[in-house]
């Protein structure tokens, strides 16, 4: 997984929405080993920034993003299909990234605490369990760069601690994580903070 040089390079990013400047002239590099948290009030532009970094927003902003390595983006909305089981959902999501056995998929679900829930229709799962189905993708990802929008939402205390350990482990192995969160990470690892100062305003 080790990569040389930045995994992502943002140059002069700026964004206006509804006549309001959310951020401007943001330049930074995401290097192997980086754990970066984007913080800011509701409406500050965290999700917008992450989508720009991921390449999901292609227009309407200034500056440029150079993506130098494969990335995995997890949005803050649940991408879990209610009619499908966790196993089916996970299999569908990762199908474009490689070939995974049923054992590998079940192992990833077990890692996020969904052992025994593999075949349950997802509409019968809680919000936190939905979130865990999404997060299971991290255990199967070979992408060095993870862009995670509010990954801790709806996750219980034990789950947060496990996720924090996963993120730190990923960075320690030469990957990098850029995440948005309203809560401080409780990790023994350097977290680079990127603060967006715009927020809820009339
Ligand atoms: N689809 C949209 N149409 C119009 N304006 C939008 C749209 N999405 C976002 N915005 C504007 O962009 C601003 C930033 O939204 P964004 O979701 O990036 O903020 P955020 O920092 O992630 O907020 P939160 O902490 O509440 O998730 C919002 O306040 C809103 O004014």
**pLDDT of 88 strictly over 50:** yes
At 198 the pLDDT is 58
Cα(22) to ligand 1 centroid in Å equals 9
- Residue with the smallest CA separation from ligand 1 atom 28 is 43
pLDDT > 90 fraction of the chain, expressed in percent and rounded: 76
At 126, list the tokens: 């809680």
Q: What is the ipTM of this complex?
A: 0.91
Query: Ligand 1: residues within 6 Å at CB?
Result: 17-18, 22, 40, 42-48
CB 43 within 8 A of CB 175: no
At 202 the pLDDT is 42
Tell me the mean pLDDT in the region 87-103.
87
Tell me how far apart the alpha carbons of residues 195 and 51 are, in angstroms, rounded to a whole number: 16
pLDDT > 70 fraction of the chain, expressed in percent and rounded: 96
Residue for token digits 């350097």? 190
| Domains observed in the chain | 8-70+143-201 (3.40.50.300), 86-131 (no CATH)
Q: Which long-range contacts (CB under 8 A, 24 or more apart) does 189-195 make?
A: 189/35, 190/35, 191/35, 191/36, 191/37, 192/34, 192/35, 192/36, 192/37, 193/36, 193/37, 193/39, 194/26, 194/28, 194/36, 194/37, 194/38, 194/39, 195/39, 195/40
Quote the pTM value: 0.91
Mean of pLDDT over the chain: 91
What atom in ligand 1 is closest to the CA of residue 150? 27
- Per DSSP, the three-state class of 112 is coil
Residues pairing with 23 in the sheet:
15
For the stretch 4-52, pLDDT in tens is 789 999 999 999 988 888 999 999 999 999 999 999 999 999 999 999 9
For the stretch 43-63, pLDDT in tens is 999 999 999 999 999 888 999
What atom in ligand 1 is closest to the CA of residue 41? 25
Q: What is the CA radius of gyration of the chain?
A: 17
For the stretch 113-127, pLDDT in tens is 999 999 999 999 998
């Amino acid at each position: 997984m080790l990569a040389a040089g930045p995994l992502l390079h943002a140059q002069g990013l700026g964004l206006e929405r509804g006549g309001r400047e959310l951020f401007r002239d943001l330049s930074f590099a995401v290097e192997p080993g980086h754990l970066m948290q984007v913080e800011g009030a509701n409406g500050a532009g965290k999700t917008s920034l992450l989508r720009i970094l991921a390449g999901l927003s292609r227009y309407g902003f200034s500056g440029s993003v150079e993506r130098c390595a494969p990335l995995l983006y997890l949005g803050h909305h649940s991408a879990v299909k209610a009619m499908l089981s966790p196993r089916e959902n996970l299999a569908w999501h990762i199908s474009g990234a490689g070939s995974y056995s049923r054992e590998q998929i079940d192992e990833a679900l077990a890692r996020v605490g969904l052992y025994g829930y593999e075949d349950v229709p997802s509409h019968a799962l809680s919000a936190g369990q939905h979130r865990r189905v999404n997060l299971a993708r991290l255990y199967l990802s070979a992408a060095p760069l993870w862009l995670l929008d509010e990954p801790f939402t709806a996750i219980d205390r034990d789950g947060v601690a496990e996720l924090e350990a996963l993120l730190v482990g990923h960075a320690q192995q030469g990957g990098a994580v850029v995440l948005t969160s309203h809560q401080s990470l409780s990790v023994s690892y350097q977290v680079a903070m990127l603060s967006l100062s715009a927020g809820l305003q009339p």
